[in-house]
């Protein structure tokens, strides 16, 4: 499954073979297409397409190129189109200072007016921004100051990291088009890396911007798969991971399609199989969405109850099929030490490789040194340290009150002990947390423990 969140199938480029293009999209696994309005005529054509095809949805809005043609009846017409049940968003709207087809002050005026209409009608917006980063951010921050529900999508993102961060802070999703495949798009590919999986979309923006190897030719929705492949490569994931998470995002933003089911015990990311033992944790990290949005790469990890060791084992088809089987969960697995031991033994007996992801509280939780018990069962252990000082640790990981006393030193002890019993040990930190000196973290890990250090960007779980 995959979604093209930005297509212009109403355009005359498809007049000769529209039905074939749409069929090709279906044949290539495209589940939904969001057809985007640029003016009243194309918005109406988009709505008409939704009547013809059940898997096509529409938006309605006036593109910055066309705002110069807005007249006294435009907003009334726009309201009618937005009221259609298959019109999911208002857009595309925004600022385009690259082409400047409409005067800039007129662009800004109608961008604001349409944002106001979207807020009134409770519709997400689809934002078009070209060479107008500062003005777009300034206007949007007036309307979406504090991330109170997703305001919409930045489409065909071409801005820099700074704009991406501002958009993410406001709660926007960021959508990438075929431009990420272009040879000279190194800077854009860097931006792809910072967008969390639960805020990512893919699009074609067809008929424009065909991805490689079709660059320069007419684009079409089936090519969204080529962009998915590139995004997967950039993010170190599989195409399935990217398809799953972007489809889940489409469901979360618009309520279309099937959302991921809760109660997931095993889930696959890349060629690793993860085991979700618990949602409980002895910490409450500032960046953790375990309690608010327990969705990782499109897998919903909310558990109604914790699975038994037997249930966990039964949910693993064949441990040898995977590069590794990882005790992770959206919670702290060592709260269920017995289950880890029981299942890990079976995985090892079946020829699998075992990793344990932990916050390093295991010895405090179980009131003994648990590492000798893991010898021979766990091949690799990954401990999140996340800070270079005890104060920063408390502020970022926010351990439960009863775990707060000297816990940072206990985590470091855990790492030192792990080295004695587990062949591979790595220490991770989630990057870009305020109050953390990442260089110092790296020094501690390498000099003090002599183990692998892995800074990881938020949400690139695994």
Pick between residue 374 and residue 383 the one whose CB is nearest to ligand SF4.
Answer: 383
Pair 439, 446: CB distance under 8 Å: no
353 makes contact with ligand SF4 (CB under 6 A): no
CA dist., res. 133 & res. 380, Å (int): 44
Pair 93, 37: CB distance under 8 Å: no
Which part of the chain contacts ligand SF4 (CB under 6 A), choosing from 81-89, 197-205, 247-255, 325-333? 325-333
Token pair 């860097």: residue: 190
Single out the residue of 132, 232, 245 nearest to residue 181, CA to CA: 232
Which part of the chain contacts ligand SF4 (CB under 6 A), choosing from 19-27, 49-57, 262-270, 327-335? 327-335
In the complex, minimum distance from the CB of residue 360 to ligand SF4, in angstroms, rounded to a whole number:
9
Q: Sign of dihedral through CA atoms 179, 180, 185, 191?
A: positive
Pick between residue 128 and residue 361 the one whose CB is nearest to Zn ion.
Answer: 128
Element of type H or E holding 63: none
332 makes contact with ligand SF4 (CB under 6 A): yes
412 makes contact with ligand SF4 (CB under 6 A): no
Which part of the chain contacts Zn ion (CB under 5 A), choosing from 9-17, 204-212, 308-316, 328-336? 204-212
Single out the residue of 165, 170, 99 nearest to residue 132, CA to CA: 99
288 makes contact with ligand SF4 (CB under 6 A): yes
Interaction partner, residue 152 (Zn ion, ligand SF4, none; CB < 5-8 Å by kind): none
Single out the residue of 141, 179, 140 nearest to residue 157, CA to CA: 179
335 makes contact with ligand SF4 (CB under 6 A): no
291 makes contact with ligand SF4 (CB under 6 A): no
286 makes contact with ligand SF4 (CB under 6 A): no
In the complex, minimum distance from the CB of residue 291 to ligand SF4, in angstroms, rounded to a whole number:
9
284 makes contact with ligand SF4 (CB under 6 A): yes
128 makes contact with Zn ion (CB under 5 A): yes
Encode 238-259: b = buried (16+ Cβ within 10 Å), e = exposed: bebbbbbbbbbbbbbbbebeee
CA dist., res. 45 & res. 37, Å (int): 8
CA dist., res. 28 & res. 312, Å (int): 34
359 makes contact with ligand SF4 (CB under 6 A): yes
Residues that bind Zn ion (CB under 5 A): 36, 92, 128, 205
Residues that bind ligand SF4 (CB under 6 A): 281, 283-285, 288, 290, 330-332, 359, 397
């Amino acid at each position: 499954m995959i979604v093209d969140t930005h297509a212009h199938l109403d355009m005359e480029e498809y007049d000769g073979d529209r039905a074939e293009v749409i069929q090709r999209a279906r044949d290539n696994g495209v589940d939904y297409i969001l057809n985007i309005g640029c003016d009243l005529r194309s918005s109406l054509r988009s709505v008409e397409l939704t009547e013809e095809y059940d898997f096509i949805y529409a938006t309605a809005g006036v593109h910055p190129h066309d705002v110069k043609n807005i007249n006294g009846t435009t907003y009334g017409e726009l309201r009618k189109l937005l009221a259609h049940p298959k019109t999911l968003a208002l857009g595309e709207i925004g600022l385009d200072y690259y082409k400047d087809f409409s005067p800039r002050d007129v662009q800004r005026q109608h961008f604001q007016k349409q944002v106001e209409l979207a807020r009134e009608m409770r519709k997400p917006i689809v934002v078009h921004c070209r060479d107008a980063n500062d003005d777009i951010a300034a206007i949007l921050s007036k309307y979406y100051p504090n991330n109170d529900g997703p305001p919409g999508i930045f489409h065909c993102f071409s801005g820099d990291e700074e704009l991406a961060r501002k958009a993410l802070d406001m709660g926007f999703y960021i959508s990438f088009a075929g431009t990420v495949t272009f040879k000279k798009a190194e800077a854009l590919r860097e931006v792809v890396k910072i967008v969390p999986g639960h805020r990512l979309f893919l699009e074609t923006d067809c008929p424009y911007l065909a991805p490689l190897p079709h660059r320069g030719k007419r684009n079409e929705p089936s090519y969204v798969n080529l962009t998915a492949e590139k995004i997967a490569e950039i993010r170190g994931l599989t195409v399935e991971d990217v398809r799953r998470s972007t489809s889940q995002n489409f469901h979360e933003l618009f309520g279309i399609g099937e959302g991921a089911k809760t109660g997931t015990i095993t889930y696959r990311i890349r060629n690793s199989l993860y085991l979700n033992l618990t949602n409980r944790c002895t910490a409450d990290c500032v960046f953790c969405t375990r309690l608010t949005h327990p969705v990782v790469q499109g897998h919903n990890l909310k558990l109604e109850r914790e699975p038994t060791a037997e249930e966990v084992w039964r949910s693993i088809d064949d441990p040898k099929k995977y590069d590794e089987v990882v005790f992770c969960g959206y919670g702290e697995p060592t709260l269920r030490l017995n289950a880890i031991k029981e299942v890990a033994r079976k995985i090892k007996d079946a020829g699998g490789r075992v990793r344990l992801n932990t916050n390093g509280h295991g010895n405090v939780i179980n009131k003994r040194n648990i590492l000798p018990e893991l010898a021979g069962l766990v091949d690799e252990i990954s401990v999140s340290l996340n800070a270079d000082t005890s104060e920063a640790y408390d502020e970022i990981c926010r351990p439960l009150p009863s775990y707060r006393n000297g816990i940072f030193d206990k985590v470091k002890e855990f790492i030192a002990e792990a080295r004695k019993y587990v062949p591979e040990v790595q220490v991770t930190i989630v990057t870009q947390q305020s109050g953390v000196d990442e260089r110092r973290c790296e020094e501690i890990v390498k000099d003090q423990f002599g183990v692998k250090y892995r800074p990881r960007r938020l949400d690139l779980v695994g």
